[in-house]
């Protein structure tokens, strides 16, 4: 993986934790599509409380436990790579909020494989 610095675009996709695509969590499908598209990376963050277009508040508080908490998928990469990825999102997203924000990458460096092509010691991938 190469190092990235400079101007970039941050893609943020707001979905519900229970949203699915072909019986799999939607957030997982988005991450796997981002990986297959060669984006620099993607992360999923679980919210503890929120509401969206339905105005129904979902919360993890004990007295009003929700099984459909907010989930956010974030990916950052060069603008052209993020924009090329957007049509892949259109295939899977029904009800969701998708935002794009300009950002600056200060430091991003992936792990580099050793001379024999193996992962560095202590840094195992899935």
Q: What is the pLDDT along the chain (126 residues), one digit of tens a residue?
A: 456 778 999 999 999 888 999 999 999 999 999 999 999 999 999 987 777 777 676 666 655 556 678 899 999 999 999 999 999 999 999 888 999 999 998 877 765 555 555 545 544 444
Token reading at 83: 């924009």
- CA proximity to 25, closest of 44, 52, 10: 44
Question: How far apart are alpha carbons 120 and 110 in whole angstroms?
Answer: 11
Token reading at 112: 């580099």
Enter the pTM of the model.
0.76
């Amino acid at each position: 993986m190469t190092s990235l610095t400079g101007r970039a675009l941050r893609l943020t996709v707001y979905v519900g934790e229970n949203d699915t695509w072909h019986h799999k969590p939607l957030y997982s499908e988005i991450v796997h599509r981002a990986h297959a598209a060669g984006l620099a990376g993607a992360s999923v963050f679980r919210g503890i409380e929120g509401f969206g277009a339905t105005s129904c508040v979902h919360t993890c508080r004990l007295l009003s436990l929700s099984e459909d908490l907010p989930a956010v998928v974030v990916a950052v990469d060069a603008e052209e790579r993020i924009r090329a990825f957007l049509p892949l999102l259109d295939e899977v997203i029904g009800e969701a909020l998708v935002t794009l924000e300009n950002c600056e990458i200060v430091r991003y460096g992936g792990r580099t494989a050793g001379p024999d092509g193996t992962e560095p010691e202590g840094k195992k991938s899935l």
